[in-house]
Homo-oligomer: A and B are copies of this chain.
Amino acid sequence: MKEGLRERTRRAVRAELAEVAIGLFARQGFDDTTVEDIARAAGMTKRSFFRYFPTKEDVVFDGVDLTGEKVVADIAARPAEEDPWDSLHHVLRAWQEEIHASEQVLATLRLIEATPALVGRLHQRRTEWRRRVSDALQGRLGVDIDAYTADLLTNAATAVLDAVSSQWVRTNGHANRSALLEQGFIQVHVNRNLRQA
């Protein structure tokens, strides 16, 4: 683990940059905060900011990343005979429980919700992620899921996730996310494909 120091400082700078940025966004809004503002507040140049984050939007998603590389892997690892909807339920339940519901996360979600540009970026990321999940669902051995059904399943799963998130924000973080997720996955149900019928 020799590569520690350099990477550690890098991550530390990233984290502080994100913290400073979120703070400024919360106070004066996303659009009224320039990258220069953030950079100067963190003691660096605009140019250097972009060496840590590809875009101004991405600094927001540093903590609340929904990429979930692990989710993709977990889906693929589920038994092939399991109902795919149950697989999604199982994996996403586990995944959600790992995200501790801090005040910070709540504030970030609120910020995203209030900023069109961030909403767009979030869904853009999620779209890429969904395609990977969808592929993972189809990729399980000995499964006869067609692409359309796989999309249906993943889209529906994120539909639940979104509703949970909205409700959680709506209740100022008082709602029980796990309970909401359970309820959602029961209220919404997606059948395996009915092709052969």
- Most B CB contacts (10 A, CB to CB) among A127, A167, A188 go to A188
Provide the residues of chain B in CB contact with A191, threshold 8 Å: 186-189
Provide the residues of chain B in CB contact with A119, threshold 8 Å: 123-124, 127
In the complex, A184 Cα to B193 Cα: how many Å? 9
A151 and B147 contacting across the interface, CB-CB below 8 Å: no
Q: Which of B121, B159, B190 contacts A155 (CB 8 A)?
A: B159
Q: Which of B116, B152, B158, B189 contacts A124 (CB 8 A)?
A: B116
Q: Which residue of B lies closest to A192 (CB)?
A: B187
Least distance between A82 CB and chain B CB atoms (Å): 17
Q: Which of B147, B167, B186, B189 contacts A148 (CB 8 A)?
A: B167
Provide the residues of chain B in CB contact with A120, threshold 8 Å: 120-121, 123-124
Least distance between A24 CB and chain B CB atoms (Å): 22
Majority secondary structure of chain A interface residues (helix, strand, loop or mixed): helix
Provide the residues of chain B in CB contact with A183, threshold 8 Å: 148, 194
A156 contacts chain B at the CB level, 8 A cutoff: yes
A163 contacts chain B at the CB level, 8 A cutoff: yes
List A102-128 residues whose CB lies under 8 Å from chain B: 116-117, 119-121, 123-124, 127
A149 and B193 contacting across the interface, CB-CB below 8 Å: no
Least distance between A50 CB and chain B CB atoms (Å): 17
A167 and B147 contacting across the interface, CB-CB below 8 Å: yes
A170 contacts chain B at the CB level, 8 A cutoff: yes
A33 contacts chain B at the CB level, 8 A cutoff: no
In the complex, A5 Cα to B148 Cα: how many Å? 46
Known: A155-B158, A156-B156. 6 other contacts (CB 8 A): A116-B124, A147-B167, A148-B163, A149-B187, A151-B167, A188-B190
* Chain A residues within CB distance 8 Å of chain B: 116-117, 119-121, 123-124, 127, 147-149, 151-152, 155-156, 158-160, 162-163, 166-167, 170, 180, 183-184, 186-191, 193-194
